[in-house]
Amino acid sequence: MLKITQRGLTKLVALFAVVFVACTAMFSTNAMANANETANTYVNAESDVTVNAKVDPGTDDTYTVTGTFKAIPKELTVTNQKDVDVVFVLDSSGSMGFGMDGANTIAGKDEKTRNEVVVENTKKLAEAIMNSNANNRVAAVDFDSTAKTLTTFTSDLTTFNNAVDRLDKTGGTYLGSGIKEAEKLISEDTNTEDRVKVIIAITDGQDDPSSNASLTLSHFKSLKDTTTIYRLIGMGFSEDKNKEGADALNNLSASVGANVNAQTYIIPLEEDILEDVLNSIHTEVSKAMIDMVNVDVTLPESYDFVADSLEITEENGADIQGGSAGYIHDFMFGVSSPTTGTYTYSYKVKINQAEAAKLTQKEFKTTTIQQKVTFNYTYGEEKGTVAIDEAVDLTTHKVSVSSCENSAIENTYKTTEYYVGNGASHTATWAPKDANAKLEQVVVTTYPMNKDAVVSAVDLTTLSGNAYALTDIMDCTNIYVGYEKSAPSIAPDVKDTPKDEPKKLPSVATGQNSTGLVVMLVTLAGASLYLAYRLNRYRKSL
């Protein structure tokens, strides 16, 4: 039986390169971060915000896009910072002489009173405020049943500290009186510059008598159109016995007008927690705080988003809930009130085989996922955004399987041509149409960009069944499967010239088996020799 030589096979396989679609360049990721300040006066995005994304190779046509985003730190640096005025409204009622143990008894000899804890931490915050901006100012108000100003606005830390040292601890509690006194300081201030105005009130108990509570609530309900920021801190209100007081304090900040920035902090009687809350307020009024990070993703038509594949984790590894990600081509996810640190996200995309088949080589080379990472921030009463555009480039390779007429393709896509990404793996499978056919050869040809095709014969002893696994696919690839089949036998008593049915010659260009062509030629040659033999016998018999 004739067999095609390796040299002939090499020439035959090389013909496939003429009609095979050239593959694209190596799979690459180009994460570009071009910071654009949109309606942004205060934030330096280039130094404070970072994003990064890449694509990891997968199996077949599904790939994982991973990325990170981070604000450095959580608060963005303010480049056009406003001056800040803070009024501390400090409770000086009799309970402020109690200890921090919650027993509501006079503090022991070696125990700090609530008054001392508040004074110490007020001084710390005032120092931090003035150190962050030499033009910042602080003031202090003492309130119990009535209120009085300890110091008007000053940038002198010594003056402020001496004033709050005069805070006493006698009398009842009427928070509303202290708030009104602070508002009076602000309204009577002769400095008319555009400054951030903040009132920080610290108390350890609810208004008493109840008439005072009604007056305080009524005043907060009247706040409609003011830019002053209100921060109310209730110490010890988190205890079950003070739930009524906690509810009353929460109700104050909830009752203001829609445009008023008011917030309540209910904390236990713990000094370190009070310090943390005061520091967070300082950050809020002197930095631009990130409220939300959104990642808008636009996929090319040749890729689909894999449903339920989105994952977002914090720097400590904790999973968090992302945003909406249910669209096929365009989707968005995000994190609200992000903490300091790096967030990592991942999602999967899958090649749309039908759409991919429509693309030219050039279009495959420029396939790109577009991502816009938007940081929404608040600075005082100002709102702004920082948007970073990011492009993640994808490269796709075409894989084809050609065979002789004696085999059928049985790969994942049930087709002879399909598309995978750079670095992917895929297993091509086939099956013989004739159980008697014997696998003769498997040849893998890759088509590197701008280089000659590389032809490699597969050692059949290494195969597991009718399958060949491709790994780390970096080029367009063709797998050729060939079977051999014995020539049909011819009976010796044939008297008439055998009439062969016309057969269609296999096309080399379409990848049909060269062995099938040889078998057919051998059959025709054998039939011709047999006919010549019978004719010669016939002549001799005449």
Higher per-residue pLDDT: 335 or 366 = 335
- Weakest-pLDDT range from 155-159, 236-240, 423-427: 236-240
Write out pLDDT tens, residues 68-112.
Answer: 887 554 455 555 567 899 999 999 999 999 988 877 777 777 789
- For residue 192, CA distances in Å to 78, 187, 196, 197 come to 22, 10, 11, 12
Task: Answer whether 348's CB lies under 8 Å from 307's CB.
Answer: no
**Bond from prior residue into 448 cis (ω within 30 degrees of 0):** no
- For residue 389, CA distances in Å to 34, 52, 53, 333 come to 6, 11, 11, 15
Collapsed DSSP state (helix, strand, coil) of residue 403: strand
Fold classified for 34-69+290-394: Immunoglobulin-like (2.60.40)
Write out pLDDT tens, residues 201-218.
Answer: 999 988 888 889 999 999
> Which residues of 204-249 form beta strands (DSSP E)?
229-235
Amino acid making up residue 33: A
Domain boundaries, the chain: 6-23+397-527, 34-69+290-394, 84-286
Residue 130 has pLDDT above 80, yes or no: yes
pLDDT above 90 covers a percentage of the chain that reads 25
Strands 229-235, 262-267: pairing is parallel
Q: Which of 243, 175, 265 has its CA nearest to residue 215? A: 175
Write out pLDDT tens, residues 437-481.
Answer: 888 889 999 988 778 899 999 999 888 888 888 888 888 899 898
CA gap 329, 350 in Å, rounded: 11
Q: What pLDDT is recorded for position 274?
A: 93
Task: Answer whether 407's CB lies under 8 Å from 430's CB.
Answer: yes
Write out pLDDT tens, residues 272-326.
Answer: 999 999 988 887 777 666 778 888 888 888 888 888 888 888 876 777 654 443 3
73-82, 132-141, 188-197, 288-297: which is most confident: 132-141
Q: Is 222 exposed, middle or buried (0-12, 13-18, 19+ CB in 10 A)?
A: exposed
Q: Which CATH class is domain 84-286?
A: alpha beta
pLDDT band at 26 (very low <50, low <70, confident <90, very high): very low
Tokens encoding 160 = 């402020």
Say how many C-beta atoms besides its own lie within 10 A of residue 366's C-beta. Answer: 13
Mean pLDDT over all residues of the chain? 76
- For residue 211, CA distances in Å to 6, 207, 222 come to 103, 8, 17
**pTM value?**
0.52
